[in-house]
Structure 1
Amino acid sequence: MDEVARAIADPVRREILEMLHASRLSAGEVAARFDISRPAVSRHLKVLRDSGLVRDELVGRRRFYVLDPEPLAGLVGWLARVTRPAGWEHRLDALETEVYRTRRERRADRREEHTA
């Protein structure tokens, strides 16, 4: 998870991930969208590849980069745990219990009205 967090900490790498979310691209196609050198883009792609966020596919003599969102799952889960207010599951369970109890009571009241 730390490697993924470090990889997405850089705004250029986040932008590359967004581009690869839309379609697979070659390193040249990625580099053409930035005002930085091709070697700099290659270093960013290497960091993303080493973190598992992108993989490369060789098609003929061209190498394409493809987003692999799976390594983000651990980070997403951690973010969900630390951003969710503590005790929400308990509160939602209590709310669900109260809803079912109220429904039961209403059905019982209706039955009593029909039998009276």
Structure 2
Amino acid sequence: MCKCPDGDRVMMEELFEKIKSRDRAYKDFKNCYDRKNKWQIFKQLRNSVVNLLKSKKNLNHFNKIDRFKNNSEVMWKTLKKLINFGDDFSPSCISYEIGTEKTVLRDNFLIAENFNK
């Protein structure tokens, strides 16, 4: 199937099962006259697949940053992939929370300084 640790393997199997059930629901929707009900079922399954993918992706990025927190080169490569600097779609600012205070930074130098703290 895939080369991944046992915890990830369980998550991947869960994801594949959800994808299969989503695809079956879409097929049922296409072949049924009661489309409104079948469409609602498909939408719920589609949303659960998307949410599971997003949570898995976020957890993977968090674990990768945490694992390489002592190796700044790998950590920064990961952070740059998340931020997509130089892309047309890259954010012009970063917002983060420290305690109860929320801060928005727009200067690349200040963003780098605060990540290094």
TM-score w.r.t. the length of structure 1 is: 0.29
TM-score w.r.t. the length of structure 2 is: 0.29
If asked which structure has higher relative contact order (CA below 8 Å, sep 6+), I would say: 1
Name which one, 1 or 2, has greater alpha-carbon Rg. Answer: 1
